[in-house]
Amino acid sequence: MTSFVEVTHDGHVGTLTINRPDKLNALSQEVLSDLSSAIEALAANDGVWAAVLTGTGKAFVAGADIAAMKDMTEGEGLEFGALGHRVFAAIENLRCPVIAAVNGFALGGGCELALACDFIYASSKAKFGQPEVNLGIIPGFGGTQRLPRRVGSAAARELIYTGKMINAAEALRLGLANAVFEPDDLLAAAMKTAAEIASKGPLAVAAAKRLIRDGVDLPLPEANRLEQAAFGEAFGTEDQREGMGAFLEKRAPAFKGA
């Protein structure tokens, strides 16, 4: 059986491509299961220090599979939502940063998938939205929680309550997207940034990701204590000695992730 998620590697950069273009990469139970397996493989690979997530065709992910959801019972809906939450949390919990390269439609579950990544690069043709209220449901894969944290409560309320779709320029204005590129330049730009991240100390980047994720909703003194502990721990690594030694010797560091 062919997987709906293709995984490739280029040096220390991994790429995950959702490949269900005939359904605009819609998130069925099978697609989510394949994505879960791909993320598990990425987590187990210590040689991947940054990753890019994208889709094939004219969509990043157009949403969850409505045809598959139409006749779900309340219990089945609960299970499907739980699966999406587990998979998207696994992306957030990856050691390495993940860049969403949103090449087209990122609606509903697709927008939520992009939000689970560390940040978003968008094609100028990208479209974002949480249109679930048009279907009589709500965002079910974290949209009501991650979108306000990304763009602010008022903007998230407007997008979720109206179900409207916005273009890449508006996503950039709101802070949903970090940058917008022409369609042919998007993946190369995301890969270039991923490669730049992967050239840094991987343990340091992983610690920074963990601290931002875990500390953002904590009281500042408590969050700062987490940073203080992680800062001290960095001085027990080979990467710290290599990075500082390379700086003083005016050469490029050769990090090992140890």
Residues forming the active site: 112, 132
Going by their DSSP bridges, the two strands 59-61 and 13-18 should be labelled as unpaired
With a CB cutoff of 8 Å and minimum separation 6, the contacts of 188 are none
Report d(CA 17, CA 54) in Å as an integer.
Answer: 5
Instruction: Compute the distance between CA of residue 56 and CA of residue 20 in angstroms, rounded to an integer.
Output: 7
| Helix boundaries (H) for the chain | 29-44, 66-69, 74-92, 109-116, 143-151, 153-162, 168-174, 186-198, 202-215, 220-234, 238-249
Contact 120, 102 (CB under 8 A): yes
Q: If 0-12 CB within 10 Å is exposed, 13-18 middle and 19+ buried, where does residue 226 land?
A: middle
Structure tokens at 63: 């949403």
Q: What are the strands of the beta sheet with 179-181, ordered from one edge?
A: 5-10, 13-18, 50-55, 98-102, 119-123, 179-181
- Label residue 54 left, alpha or beta by phi (over 0 means left) and psi (-120 to 50 means alpha): beta
